[in-house]
């Protein structure tokens, strides 16, 4: 179906990828009906500042809202989720029982936090462990996950009258929250089952470096440890987190970040292919969504956190949960949907993410693998300013920079060109 034949496009997902997909459709000339379904009632906003400036610097909602010059030409369904998809009738069923017809569909529904389920133990001489499941009648009142702006506000408000916090999960979200709360003067304890810090994201070569940074800021790391249960008062507040080695960590409140899962329950009964690992939407290299027989659907595309795709530069299937990918993949998906001249070119953007941790800005481009070799080619760890290159068989596949923003941009281009280590280093 060509651009001129499209009269109605529905975008499922009202966060960054969904809004940028809608904006891109308008930029590329689509003038028909455009509907965006957003589960949140608020205006679209950026999530990276939630774990950083919203908690540590009191940013208000106006500082994180996403600008959209085409907002007046889009129909927003806020506070409403997609319930089901029927590809035969080309309709999306919403949670308010309304059906939206589409000629083309953008799946940009993102991901939701994985729920932490732990036994709870009521304080007192007759304490009896019971199963606690988030979302039931009375979960602990001081246990938080971070996904929305309101979540960030609750964490910030909890910090005002607290002195001790336990963070469960030492990924980037957990560490960013830890960094923010430590900067506010709280005693922060971080628990994670991994024996080393950030090893999966940036490799074990730099784990001890970031562990030292955290310790220097007063963050207590409990690595290689798993939370076993919560000790909770009769009023429903966690006072301690009990670990698998029977150690206990005192807490005024607890925040957890144990990963996310694609929000695709509404697609389970459809003919959309969902990844066996996490039920993310499976796309081809051009962002076209695949059906259950592995065939690309020309009028259905996916983008952002929800989408698996084949990255031909790395010859790898991947799903990327980063800001930059949400924007660039949304643009590529819009082109693919509209059948523009370069729409069949594979989506080849080099993955890029950044993080503000313990007073430093970390940036990473590309990929690192368990068998990658790593060289620090500029600066050193002691100065907290360096550039490190990850390479495999002489080809640069990734770069880590602290205090090296311009060089990271250059390395991103080098990785896209499959540059050799010698070329990347200017030798």
Give me the residue spans of the domains in the chain. Answer: 3-112+261-338, 115-258, 359-424
**DSSP count for the chain of H helices, then E strands:** 9, 29
| Domain spanning 115-258: CATH 3.40.50.300 | no
pLDDT of residue 341: 66
What gap in Å lies between CA 144 and CA 102, rounded to an integer? 37
pLDDT tens-digit map of 35-79: 999 999 999 999 999 999 999 999 999 999 999 999 999 999 999
pLDDT of residue 125: 42
pLDDT of residue 70: 93
pLDDT tens-digit map of 320-343: 999 999 999 999 999 999 988 677
pLDDT of residue 130: 43
Could you tell me which residues are beta bridge partners of residue 36? 11, 76
pLDDT of residue 186: 98
Same fold, 3-112+261-338 and 115-258: yes
Instruction: Let me know: does 390 contact 351? Beta carbons within 8 Å.
Output: no
Residues of the chain under the 70 pLDDT cut: 1-4, 123-138, 341, 427
SS (HEC) of 252-270: CEEEECCCEEECCHHHCCC
pLDDT tens-digit map of 241-254: 999 999 999 999 99
What gap in Å lies between CA 13 and CA 306, rounded to an integer? 10
| 359-424: CATH topology | Enolase-like; domain 1 (3.30.390)
pLDDT of residue 426: 74
Burial label, 265 (beta-carbon count in 10 A; 0-12, 13-18, 19+): middle
Question: What are the Cα distances from residue 211, in Å, to 17, 132, 205, 340, 399?
Answer: 33, 32, 12, 48, 20
Instruction: Let me know: does 418 contact 392? Beta carbons within 8 Å.
Output: no
pLDDT of residue 135: 38
Could you tell me which residues are beta bridge partners of residue 352? 365
| 3-112+261-338: CATH topology | FAD/NAD(P)-binding domain (3.50.50)
In sign, the C-alpha dihedral spanning 200, 205, 208, 210 is: negative
């Amino acid at each position: 179906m060509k651009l001129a034949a499209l009269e109605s496009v529905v975008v499922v997902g009202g966060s960054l990828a969904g809004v940028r997909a809608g904006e891109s459709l308008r930029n590329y000339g689509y003038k028909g009906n455009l509907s965006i379904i957003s589960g949140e009632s608020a205006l679209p906003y950026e999530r990276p500042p939630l774990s950083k400036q919203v908690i540590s610097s009191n940013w208000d909602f106006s500082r994180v809202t996403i600008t959209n010059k085409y907002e007046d030409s889009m129909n927003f369904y806020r506070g409403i989720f997609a319930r089901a998809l029927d590809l035969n009738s080309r309709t999306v069923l919403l949670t308010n029982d309304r059906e939206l017809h589409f000629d083309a569909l953008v799946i940009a529904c993102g991901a939701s936090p994985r729920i932490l389920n732990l036994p709870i133990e009521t304080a007192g001489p007759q304490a009896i462990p019971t199963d606690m499941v988030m979302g039931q009648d009375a979960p602990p009142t001081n246990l938080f996950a971070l996904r929305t702006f309101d979540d960030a506000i609750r964490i910030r408000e909890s910090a005002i009258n607290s002195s001790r916090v336990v963070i469960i999960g030492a990924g980037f979200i957990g560490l960013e929250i830890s960094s923010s709360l430590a900067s506010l003067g709280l005693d922060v304890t971080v628990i994670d089952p991994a024996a080393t810090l950030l090893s999966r994201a940036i490799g074990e070569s730099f784990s001890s470096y970031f562990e030292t940074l955290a310790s220097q800021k007063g963050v207590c790391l409990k690595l290689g440890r798993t939370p076993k249960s919560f000790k909770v008062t009769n009023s429903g507040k966690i006072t301690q987190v009990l670990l698998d080695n029977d150690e206990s960590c005192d807490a005024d409140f607890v925040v957890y970040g144990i990963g996310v899962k694609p929000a695709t329950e509404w697609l389970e009964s459809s003919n959309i292919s969902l990844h066996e690992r996490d039920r993310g939407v499976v796309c081809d290299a051009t962002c076209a969504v695949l059906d259950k027989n592995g065939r690309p659907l020309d009028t259905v595309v996916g983008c952002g956190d929800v989408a698996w795709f084949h990255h031909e530069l790395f010859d790898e299937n991947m799903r990327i949960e980063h800001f930059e990918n949400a924007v660039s993949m949304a643009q590529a998906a819009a082109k693919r949907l509209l059948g523009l001249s370069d729409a069949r070119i594979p989506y080849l953007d080099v993955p890029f993410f950044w993080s503000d941790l313990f007073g430093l800005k970390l940036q990473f481009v590309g990929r690192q693998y368990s068998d990658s070799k790593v060289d620090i080619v500029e600066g050193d760890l002691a100065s907290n300013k360096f550039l490190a290159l990850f390479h495999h068989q002489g080809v640069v596949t990734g770069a880590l920079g602290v205090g090296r923003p311009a060089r990271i941009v250059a390395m991103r281009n080098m990785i896209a060109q499959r540059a050799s280590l010698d070329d990347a280093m200017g030798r």
